[in-house]
Amino acid sequence: MGDLPKGDVSVSNIHIGMLEEIVSGVASDVLLYSYRRSFDGFAAKLTEDEANKLKGKEGVVSVFPSQKKQLHTSRTWEFMGFNKKMKTSIIESDIIIGMLDTGVWPESESFNDTGFGPIPKKWKGTCQKSANFTCNNKIIGARYYLTDGDNGPEDFISPRDAEGHGTHTTSTAAGGLVSQASLFGIAKGTVRGGVPSARIAVYKICWSYGCSDEGILAAFDDAIADGVDIISLSVGSSIPFDYFEDSIAIGAFHAMKKGILTSNSAGNGGPTPGSVVNVSPWSLTVAASTIDRKFVTKVKLGNGQIYEGATINTFDLKGKMYPFIYGGDAPNLTLGVASEFSRYCFPGALNATLVKGKIVFCEYFTDYEGVLEAGALGAVFQDTGNKDFQFSYPLPFSTLNVNDGRMIINYLNTTENPTATIFKTSQDNNQFAPFVVSFSSRGPNPITTDILKPDLTAPGVDILAAWSEASTVTEDDTRRTRYNIISGTSMSCPHATGAAAYVKSFHPTWSPAAIRSALMTTAIPMTSNNNIEGEHAYGAGHINPLQATDPGLVYDAGEIDYVKFLCGQGYTIANIQLISGNSSSCSEETDGTVWDLNYPSFALSSTPGKSITRVFHRTVTNVGSAVSNYRAVVNAPPGLIIQVQPSVLSFEYVGQQQSFVVTVGAELGNSMISGSLIWDDGVHQVKSPIVAYASIML
């Protein structure tokens, strides 16, 4: 492998030329990959004699045989420095995670209970009787909540998962170690959850036609009473505008009262501003980000050119070249479709006689249904959308950018008998990770603009985890799999759930707010270099489970703090009593401003072009060294003035609380200004984002 040649030359043509001198057949047929972006080299199918000939050629640095390298892990937890050899708590197996989702596939190896002891004595739940579902010492409880009209013919009237989503999220949070897991050989390695020894309680709230509010509230009700420690809910609705019209916010409030943290997905409405959901300040809101692995699907043309696409292609054509046809050349004339329309490959637009058994090129990515119904062997789509996450499809499939698409159109238009093949997906390093993926919902908070949401981000892109064997790999597919790769904030949420359960296992008496604070203040800082929305994309940063067990200080809060917050937000006594379930009342003493809620982040907003000053009152609790002194370290970029009083906090014992005041002044333009406050004792760095932004939502 050498440096790239200078000048405007075709590296692939150089490689084909070299191969033509040593092989007896067609050089382009043996060329597998042409490396042409960072270094000069290629991969080819050669005999030993041909390889030796190549070694002797001038300009060849090295020739060596390809070897099979094995992945050692499914990457997500290891990417966060959270490997299977990390320190674990002796009470991890007493932690119970309540999963509110589509149910679970109990026979999955991820839920094997070998080595588990008796069910924790605190458990008060049940395994709802069903002909096709059995609990064990790993899945210790299971219930389902069916509302008339929610289920379809494929649903199981039991806690069993027919869709796959719930099995995936549950194994991500708390699945056991399973080696050699993969999706048809892709991403092969060891999969596991964040807390493999924890117990699982399943609450099936989602069916073919949705997840009803009544089912959600019933599940919260049961889970709280059953004795779960953490609730995970990768479900959401449209953008909320009132906490009391959101069943999840209501359920999470009741969970908080009983010391149970609810971990929520932030939604998949990104990158639209203000699209974040599940924003109640008493729950954890999780965005989705990438890891240092990405999947690529390469397309090779008959002229030897290879292009890199963005899908998960589970089909192996073994490098065989197939006839390649442009969708615009195969209009369905029977239905009066013109080539100007068939080039997009919409359903019904293609002539099945012309495309059957061929690979079709389509100029615009809509869906696979048009090529599938026409009997195409595979498809290559030109795609102008985001390529920071991938999908699987029921046929060989790849999507290319516009520039590569133009090159392919030129090839199709200038070649008499064009051919192509689509390679099975391989994986590559994602050097820009982590960054928040495009689909992850963004802030600002649509209900309370000065509560920063999402809280943090966690891996949610191309996640390999357990799958329901009643479900197929994709829609319109017949293949079954035990493990599948999917993306969403539904996938990032259980990563945060697992991390929260891990912290809980070391600190079983910590409140939900303390656990959330530990996760937020120890999060790995991120920058707007990869996400222009800044903290509205990633909150406090990327989750760091190991560090979260020792945060030094925590921002704690309880029911009375949230009641004060709600009073300050203008909610009526009747509404507050409805959600709190007690005789809470609002008065001058209990009215609290949003800036005084003891939250681990600081946010202030106003209309563009204004100067604004806000005063935040905060209290931290010492959970680190008994005797310690923390110094305030402020990062205030131009346009932001941050003052902290006092600037030093001294502690004499664990559990001691100290209060401080942060005054923030900002000159608001049209963009966000991001700063931070770090309390530093030389061992712990307790970091909180401080953001000021102009909001049109005011």
Give the DSSP per-residue string, 393-411.
Answer: -SSSEEEE-HHHHHHHHHH
For the chain, give the mean pLDDT.
Answer: 89
Encode burial over 64-96: b for 16+ CB neighbours within 10 A, e otherwise.
Answer: eeeeeeebebbbbbbbbebeeeeeebeebbbbb
pLDDT band, residue 70 (cuts 50/70/90): very low
Whether residue 61 is predicted with pLDDT greater than 80 in this model: the reply is: no
Our answer to whether residue 72 is catalytic in this structure is no
What mean pLDDT is predicted for residues 348-361? 96
Match 């692995």 to its residue by tokens.
Answer: 293
How many other C-beta atoms lie within 10 A of the C-beta of residue 122? 11
**% of the chain with per-residue pLDDT over 90:** 70
pLDDT reported for residue 475: 86
Selection from 36, 96, 87 nearest residue 231 by Cα: 96
Q: What is the mean pLDDT of residues 611-624?
A: 96
Which structure tokens are listed for 678?
Answer: 């770090």
Q: 108, 490, 601, 674: which one is catalytic?
A: 490
Task: Give alpha helix (H) positions in 56-140.
Answer: 76-79
Max CA distance (Å), the chain: 90
Q: Average pLDDT of 644-658? A: 97
| 442, containing H or E segment | none
Distance CA(543)–CA(541), nearest Å, equals 6
- The yes-or-no verdict on residue 65 having pLDDT over 60 is no
Strands 293-301 vs 378-382: parallel, antiparallel or unpaired:
unpaired
Identify the CA nearest to 390 among candidates 484, 252, 510. 484
Q: Which residue in 94, 101, 246, 556 is the catalytic one? A: 101
195 or 68, higher pLDDT: 195
* Whether the Cβ atoms of residue 317 and residue 354 lie closer than 8 Å to each other: no
pTM: 0.86
Give tens-digit pLDDT for 240-266: 788 888 889 989 999 999 999 999 999
| CA distance linking residue 199 with residue 336, whole number of Å | 59
In the structure, what pLDDT confidence band is assigned to residue 2 with cuts at 50, 70 and 90?
very low
CA distance 341 to 397: 20
Res. 71: pLDDT tops 50: no
The pLDDT value recorded for residue 208 is 87
> Given this model, what pLDDT does residue 696 score?
67
- Euclidean distance between CA atoms 533 and 655, whole angstroms: 36
Q: Cα–chain-centroid distance for residue 325?
A: 36
Structure tokens at 646: 């006092």
Alpha carbons 140 and 143: distance in angstroms, whole number: 11
Euclidean distance between CA atoms 127 and 121, whole angstroms: 15
State the Cα–Cα distance between residues 103 and 111, nearest whole angstrom: 13
* Other beta carbons less than 10 A from residue 456's beta carbon: 32
Q: 104-108, 413-417, 576-580, 686-690: which range is least confident on average?
A: 576-580
H/E element, 489: helix 489-506
Confidence of residue 81 (pLDDT cuts 50, 70, 90): low
Mean pLDDT of the 277-284 span: 96
Q: 374, 353 in Cβ contact below 8 A?
A: no
Counting residues of the chain whose pLDDT is more than 70, the rounded percentage is 91
Helix H or strand E encompassing 685? strand 685-694
Whether the predicted pLDDT of 35 surpasses 70: no
Q: What is the pLDDT averaged over residues 67-86? A: 49
Average pLDDT (662-669) is 92
The answer to whether 441 and 275 are in contact (CB under 8 A) is yes
**Cα separation, 229 vs 225, whole angstroms:** 11
pLDDT given at position 210? 85
| Residue at token pair 């019933």 | 218
For the ranges 32-46, 563-577, 656-670, the one whose mean pLDDT is highest: 656-670
The whole-number average pLDDT for the span 478-493 is 94
- Residue with the larger pLDDT of the pair 26 and 418: 418
**Residues with Cβ within 8 Å of residue 529, at least 6 apart in sequence:** none
β-strand partners of 634? 677
Cα 366 from Cα 70, distance rounded (Å): 35
489: left (phi over 0), alpha (psi -120 to 50) or beta: alpha
What contacts 638, CB < 8 A, 6 or more positions away?
Answer: none
Rg (CA), the chain: 28
Q: Is 511 helix (H, G, I), strand (E, B) or coil?
A: coil
**Residue 606 is encoded by which pair of tokens?**
């106003």
pLDDT of residue 433 exceeding 90, the answer is no
- Is the predicted pLDDT of residue 73 greater than 80, yes or no? no
**Residues 580-596: what's their mean pLDDT?**
78
487 is annotated as an active-site residue: no
Q: Mean pLDDT over residues 311-321, rounded?
A: 95
Report for 9-13, 43-47, 444-448: range of highest mean pLDDT: 444-448
Token duo for residue 259: 């010391």
Instruction: Please pick, among 165, 254, 507, 684, the residue that the annotation labels catalytic.
Output: 165
Average pLDDT in the 335-364 region? 94
Structure-token pair, residue 582: 């007690």
Residue of higher predicted confidence among 475 and 557: 557
pLDDT for the residue numbered 82? 62
Higher pLDDT, 499 or 368: 499
Higher pLDDT, 48 or 606: 606
Omega cis (within 30) before 454: yes
Q: Distance between CA 137 and CA 585 in Å, rounded?
A: 44
Cα three-residue angle 543-545-550, rounded to 5 degrees: 115
Residue 69 has what pLDDT?
24
pLDDT at 13: 75
Q: Pick the more confident residue, 573 or 631.
A: 631
Grade residue 67 by pLDDT with cuts at 50, 70 and 90.
Answer: very low
Output 665 or 41, whichever has higher pLDDT: 665
pLDDT score of 43: 66
SS3 state of residue 111: helix
Is residue 168 flagged as an active site residue?
Answer: no
Q: Answer whether 75's CB lies under 8 Å from 293's CB.
A: yes
Neighbours of 690 (CB within 10 A): 24
**DSSP H stretches of helix in 581-651:** none
